[in-house]
Amino acid sequence: MPEKFLKPYDPAATEGRLYGEWEKSGLFNPDECVRRGAARADAPAYSIVLPPPNVTGRLHMGHALMLAIEDIFVRYKRMRGFRTLWVPGTDHAAIATQAVVEKQIKKDEDKSRHDLGREEFVRRVEAFAEESHGTIVSQLKTMGASLDWSREAFTLDDARSRAVRTVFKRMYDAGLVYRGHRIVNWDPKGQTTISDDEVVYEERPAKLYTFRYANDFPISVATTRPETKVGDVAVAVHPDDARYRDFVGKEYDAVFCDVPIRLKIVADAAVDPSFGTGAVGVTPAHSQTDWDIADRHGLSHQNIVISEYAKMTVPGRLNGMKTAAARGAVVEWLKREGLLEKEEDIRQNVATAERTGGIIEPLPKLQWFVDVNREVPGRGASLKELMLEPVRSKKIAIIPDHFEKTYVHWIENLRDWCVSRQIWYGHRIPVWYRGEEIQVGVEPKEVGWTQDEDTLDTWFSSGLWTFSTLGWPDDAGDLKTYHPTDLLETGYDILFFWVARMILMTEFALGTIPFRTVYLHGLVRDAQGRKMSKSLGNNLDPVDIAAKFGADAARMALVVGNTPGTDTRISEDKVKGYKHFANKLWNIARFILENADDADAAVPLSEADVAHRAALDALTREVTADIDGYRVYLAAEKLYHYAWHELADNIIEESKPVLQGADAAAKASRRALLARLFDRTLRLLHPFMPFVTEEIWQSLPAKDADYLMVARWPVVE
């Protein structure tokens, strides 16, 4: 028996060394597996692309859960003999990364990016991203992720940049990318547009004000933002609301807080007659809903009264005021004029920017959009329809399946996607201007051209991830072999951010699906069910946890009991329990190796011992079916109970008197049984706990592979 088993299992001394050996072997690469006979050249392919972590810091427990689940499937398929590819990469996360660097420069140098200039600022962001990238890669390896590092990608590297330019150009030529003056979500704090699904709604206390625009105005309206009413062009009521039927179509002039306005009464089904007075002021330049109402009734969209810095731009007393201050001033004016009828305390969902926390101001701006409603040339369907079809037809399965309804509802209500961002870090929009001329895709060689200042939404480039990482736009071998990918495993919270956009981009660029199955995990919460946050002080760092208890223990703690699509709880105590399990496996190995005899390999099993093997055969079938059915949480739990309570507590305890007895045939049969059961158990457990199982495997007297990670998965007929 190797001397190492005389000491307790030490994951800290084992895991880093083992990962280095795996990486050096090259067996994370499916081509090397074929070359060395670990997979047949004609074996079926299996592929996953890693959802690329942002280069803005450290991995969190949600990342660790994602890595554990994906690595389980990858190691399982590799052991099944598939040509298995798991593509690693990171995301430049433009807004988030730029915000981190801007904040640091302001703190250290009291300078803005404008003080540095675009070239120097981008250089600094790139340096930060490169440093952070090294941290992320180290953490991925710490968690045991068996990624093919020879194929590592970055959403902003040359290959991905080429793919972005190609897709943008093809979309532009197809009439699916356009530049238009439309209302967008403007973040005054970040000074950029953001997409609809990057808006975070926070419930906050607010006031609902009911008032009239003037003493002779016939209708009262209610709003939480009276400062915007200086930009109103109409008052909308529901077509079936009898209270206002006689006013529809009429126009009225008023001077509202020193600002002359002209209001038309319109009837629109979007109005909720039960809210407030059942009548709402229409401010097209500062509300998406009002913009749509204005479209339907031919009203002006141009009455802009709030600037990009959330300051009022109207003449008179409000000019230059921040919106919050202007709100107070308008309310005071309403009171003085006797126009304020009611003031109520309510709770309101306030739109904020996910990355900066700034309060969103809807503003009309000239931006680049992807048209999701226009028919794609040659496809007979719009991008929206192409996003719906594979989910409805089950070409793409979503696990758990109740998210399919959520996905369909969201896509059916999808608006054109604003893809331009007013930041400096990222893929600069590949459009050049010279007077009225425009060139798209490739920079002109002639002088006098100016490139668009904006960059593309990060999700534009990450939407290409499944195929840009496999060599597209070239018709490369990887693309033919590994696309569509088999599985996308990610959090349910980015179903619309990313999953939907990958379907959109892949359907457009390749005319196919990006993946066959979407497995959605939930949020990782603390032991009390609270979301992890710095403010609560309940963050668990997966790398710290792995250093303390071992990556195997962290992986098992995250997976066991974690059903798809539901939030899971984790604590140090739970991780500690699986560290004890790793120690139990180590102790089982010591007992079996102490009693091992090389001659037992060919020994036939006794009738009693055959029954034990049959029970493990049944478990093998169950675990295999569970993994194939995406029930990895059940497979992990069953293996835990088998190894600890059946193999260790029952079979080994039952074996001790047999091994100490005088019956040589019984002893030989039992030694052979224990060796075979443990060999099988290690294989079954390897995808879940790769380090401790590999370390034990290396000491087994009879092995059919250099590494357990390419040993054959047990198949029971």
Sequential DSSP letters for 216-239: T-S--EEES-GGGGGG--EEEE-T
Which of 552-568 are b and which e, b meaning 16 or more Cβ less than 10 Å from the residue's Cβ? bbbbbbbbbebebbeeb
- Domain positions in the chain: 193-362, 570-710
Which CATH architecture group holds 570-710? Orthogonal Bundle (1.10)
**Sequence letter at residue 318:** L
Average confidence score pLDDT of the chain: 94
The residue behind tokens 């308008």 is 330
Least confident piece of the model among 338-347, 360-369, 524-533, 648-657: 524-533
Range 575-581 contact pairs with CB under 8 angstroms and sequence separation of 24 or more:
575/545, 575/548, 575/549, 576/549, 577/553, 578/549, 578/552, 578/553, 578/554, 578/640, 579/11, 579/549, 579/550, 579/553, 581/553, 581/556, 581/640, 581/643, 581/644
Confidence of residue 114 (pLDDT cuts 50, 70, 90): very high
Say if residues 182 and 328 touch (Cβ distance below 8 Å).
Answer: no
Written as six digits, the tokens of 368 are 């680049």
Res 599 pLDDT > 80: no
Phi then psi for 538, rounded to 5 degrees? -110, 15
Residues 6+ apart with CB under 8 A from 299: 233, 234, 264, 266, 282, 284, 293
Res 717 pLDDT > 90: no
Q: Which regions of 533-589 does DSSP assign to beta strands (E)?
A: 568-569
Confidence of residue 126 (pLDDT cuts 50, 70, 90): very high
Sign of CA dihedral 281, 284, 289, 295: positive
- How far apart are alpha carbons 38 and 78 in whole angstroms? 8
Confidence of residue 535 (pLDDT cuts 50, 70, 90): low
For residue 559, the surrounding DSSP H or E stretch is helix 551-559
Share of the chain above pLDDT 90, in %: 87
- How far apart are alpha carbons 318 and 311 in whole angstroms? 9
**Sequence letter at residue 297:** H
Q: At what angle do helices 118-142 and 11-25 cross, to 10 degrees?
A: 110
3-class DSSP state for residue 102? helix
For residue 201, the surrounding DSSP H or E stretch is strand 199-211
Pick 349 or 530 by higher pLDDT: 349
Strand partners, 365: 182
Strand partners, 395: none
Read off the pTM. 0.92
Q: At what angle do helices 607-628 and 632-641 cross, to 10 degrees?
A: 160
Q: What confidence tens digit (pLDDT) does each residue in 10-63 have? A: 999 999 999 999 999 999 999 999 999 999 999 999 999 999 999 987 788 889
3.90.740.10, 3.90.870.10, 3.10.520.10, 3.40.50.720: CATH of 193-362: 3.90.740.10
